[in-house]
Amino acid sequence: MTDTTPQFPTGSVLGYPRIGPRRELKKAVEAFWAGRSSADEVEATAAELRRRTRTRLAELGLRTDVAAIPSAFSFYDHVLDATAVVGAVPARFADLVDERGELDLAGYSTVARGRGDDLPLEMTKWFDTNYHYLVPEIGPETEFRYASDRPVREFVEGLADGVTTRPVLVGPVTYLALAKPTADAPADFSPIDRLPDLLPVYADLLRDLAAAGAPWVQLDEPALVSDSIEVPTERLLAAVVEAYRALAGELERPQRPAILVAAPYGDLGAGLPVLAATAVEAIGIDLVKGAAPTEAVPGLETKTLVAGVIDGHNIWRADLDAKLAILEQLENLGAAAVAVGTSTSLFHVPHDTADEPNLDPTLRSWLAFADQKVGEVVTLAEGIVEGREAIHEALLEASDAVASRRGAAGVVRPEVRERAAGLTEDAFGRGDFEQRKAAQTTRLNLPPLPTTTIGSFPQTPEIRKARAAHAKGELTDAQYEDEMKAEIRRVVELQERIGLDVLVHGEPERNDMVQYFAENLDGFAVTENGWVQSYGSRCTRPSILWGDVSRPAPITVGWTTYTQSLSNKPVKGMLTGPVTILAWSFVRDDQPLGDTANQVALALRDEIVDLEAAGIAIIQVDEPALRELLPLRAQDHAAYLDWSVRSFRLATSGVRPDTQIHTHLCYSEFGQIMGAIDGLDADVTSIEAARSKMEIVEDIAAAGYPRAVGPGVYDIHSPRVPSVDEMTELLTGAVKAIAVDQLWVNPDCGLKTRRYEETTASLEHMLTATQAVRATL
């Protein structure tokens, strides 16, 4: 580090929630989309939110003078923001940019959400989180240009407010590594090939930031912690060398800000020495998911190591003593300085535990949301500057909270532990599939190509209103139950009229497929304001899995048997699987995930056995998140797939051979985790397939997969009603590829976000297509 390198703050966070403590941004942008407010009004709300964030972070103890406070706002998505800055707007939206190449808010929203036949940028999962980003489309012809100086303007806005922020951007390597090639790109083209053309744009932006007075910039490079992206590791590391030679080596200070490269979400591994050998001034590593290096790293002696010891992705209060010990050890690595940071941006956690007055106070004392985490960072920073003694009180308090949690009633329940410990191997398997198949065929007597849906039917405004009224106490339990039963009757009548073979109850009583179970199981708590961004303006409120899990009473049995009483056709019971319940909750971090998953599985097992005893012949256990929790590093896959698959089997193996178990998965990369899907041993698996024109039947056939599958015949993510011919063609192709008795007919996913209008028409077409194909058999 040269003398001119500005000081890096001893305490900082990689990012902060951007949706607002009461989802102010969501409300503002949705009002804009609906034409209820102007772009200027949304900009004003956004500026106010950014101001609030700066003020709040300063109050919590982050320094305002040395770039401790990140400037990481986004109207929709930070990867889309990078697309807007580098001018890489797809050709179909070229009419939306001005001369400079910049999108206004309306244009930006259109790229995110599409218009007519112009599809929006594809959305996909952001590393191992439940956040989704918009995938850049990069081809050989994509023209990069410095199209938007929004990051500079937001930096200047902070400065005017007396706060020197640290602009945060997706780094150039990650930006291209996450991009997909444009449709017309040659087969051997990879977006990362375009790095030399992209770097000058980043250099322009860095120059502009320096000119505006920014001492530091943060470039996020999480691609470096993942083996699951298209670009092979060697190529990625070579790109890092090239990128930071250009941006940090050839572009010298003070023409640019000092650069922090952050690598959140996992272990940086071989990326650390590579980054350390570049001319960047600071490196951020994730020390929650990743391991601390144990030996001195050449090159680090000129850099600040920003140690992500505070978990940005979960909500438990940290054991500050243990974290301080990690920080003290890092002193031996030979870095010029060690600073305290978060493992990831804090936008994966809610704002403030103080917004949860109704949460049990003991539970609340164990939690740290974003604001509490900033406090932890500030405390640890003080500890490394002033010494352990200076933060003695805070260390004790944190240790007390950790101890209180360890010993609290409900965290460890002997009866739950004993049951899990007493499990034998036969609790994890159902026996021979061929025998099950024969028993189920006899019992169910279904036509060839049985038709069904994935579970939910449209959640109408009336259903939402009834649920809200019930929550407020305006509807009694009995009144609410009556309304839901009326809805179930309508859904059953509709399915009978359309002619579906296996019916569902439609899930009207569920606010959310995970929270519904969390509310009905012991060991969970739910929040009131604990929203986190899932994509764009969409937020979810993850439940908190804090204690040993068990099922105090049957959950779905009443609804399901009521539904079955209305029809002679089989009604499919509908549950959410253990892995998905874990993936979409904040989960206790004091024991292996597999142990927690097995507790949830046992609770579900009881529910499934009760459904069977009540006469339900088909039970679906959804695992749409099975792929989502797959670790980023390939070396960790086997262990994950082992515990996740076993927990599903534990949940579903309590039933007789003639009870049919279904599962549903929400993604199309069947080939990628074929082994795991096989391991689930479900009798029937429905899976997203429509957008890839059911190509997965080829994978299924090639793998010799023996059990039944329901590849989705139409995409439910759009209101479009597919034609009979379209679906007939897909089904005709499928019966050629795999055995007829392996094939089910269903949409891609649940219908809860759709309206009845298109749902009814699409399902009618699906049935007509099925009958046409049956006639050819």
Q: Give the residue numbers annotated as catalytic, written as ranges.
A: 717
Answer yes or no: is 216 a known binding residue: no
Smallest gap from residue 750 Cβ to Zn ion (A): 6
Torsions phi, psi for 193 (to 5 deg):
-55, -25
d(CA 753, CA 198): 38
3-state SS, residue 196: helix
Q: How far apart are CA 549 and CA 183, in angstroms?
A: 47
Alpha helix (H) residue ranges in 673-755? 674-680, 696-703, 724-737
Q: With respect to ligand GLN, which residue has the nearer C-beta, 266 or 750?
A: 750
- Residue nearest ligand GLN (C-beta atom): 750
Helices (DSSP H) in 35-181: which residue ranges?
Answer: 39-59, 78-85, 105-113, 150-160, 172-177
**On the CB side of 134, how many CA atoms lie within 13 Å of its CA?**
28
Work out whether 666 is an interface residue with Zn ion (CB under 5 A). yes
Answer for the pair 239, 199: CB distance below 8 angstroms, yes or no: no
Under rule CB under 5 A, residue 624 binds Zn ion? yes
Backbone angles phi, psi at 545, to 5 degrees: -95, 100
Say if residue 485 carries a ligand binding annotation.
no
Give, as ranges, the residues between 215 and 274 that touch Zn ion (CB under 5 A): none
List the beta bridge partners of residue 165: 69
Strands 337-342 and 522-525: unpaired
Residue 621 interacts with Zn ion (CB under 5 A)?
Answer: no
Nearest CB to ligand GLN, comparing residues 329 and 672: 672
CB 709 within 8 A of CB 743: yes
Question: Is 455 annotated among the ligand-binding residues?
Answer: yes
Q: Please indicate if the annotation marks 25 as binding a ligand.
A: yes
> What's the min distance (Å) between Cβ of 443 and ligand GLN?
23
Residue 712 interacts with Zn ion (CB under 5 A): yes or no: no
If binding is defined by CB under 5 A, does position 384 make contact with Zn ion?
no
Minimum distance, C-beta of residue 751 to ligand GLN, in the bound complex (Å):
7
Does position 749 interact with Zn ion (CB under 5 A)? The reply is yes
Dist CA 286 CA 472 (whole Å):
42
Q: Does residue 579 belong to the site contacting Zn ion (CB under 5 A)?
A: no
Q: Is 303 one of the annotated binding-site residues?
A: no
CA atoms of 437 and 707, how far apart (whole Å): 9
- The residue to which tokens 């399902």 are assigned: 763
Helix or strand (DSSP H, E) at 546 = strand 543-550
Tell whether residue 747 is a contact of Zn ion (CB under 5 A): no
60 binds, among ligand GLN, Zn ion, none (CB under 5 to 8 A by kind): none
Task: Build a one-symbol-per-residue string for 394-423: x at contacts with Zn ion by CB under 5 A, - elsewhere.
Answer: ------------------------------
Q: Is 116 assigned a ligand-binding role in the annotation?
A: no
Residue 688 counted as an annotated binding residue: yes
**Shortest Å distance, C-beta 255 to Zn ion:** 49
Which residue's entry shows tokens 């470039």?
219
**Is residue 455 near Zn ion by the rule CB under 5 A?**
no
Q: Annotation-wise, does 24 bind a ligand? A: yes
Which residues of this chain interact with ligand GLN, rule CB under 6 A?
454-456, 507, 513, 574, 622, 624, 664, 666, 749-750, 752
Q: Does 711 bind Zn ion (CB under 5 A)?
A: no
Sheet holding 165-170, edge to edge: 69-71, 165-170, 216-220, 258-263, 282-286, 304-310, 337-342
Nearest CB to ligand GLN, comparing residues 338 and 665: 665
What residues are designated binding site for L-methionine?
454-456, 507, 622
What residues are designated binding site for L-homocysteine?
454-456, 507, 622
What residues are designated binding site?
23-26, 125, 130, 454-456, 507, 538-539, 584, 622, 628, 664, 666, 688, 749
What residues are designated binding site for 5-methyltetrahydropteroyltri-L-glutamate?
23-26, 125, 130, 538-539, 584, 628
Interacting residues with Zn ion (CB under 5 A): 624, 666, 749
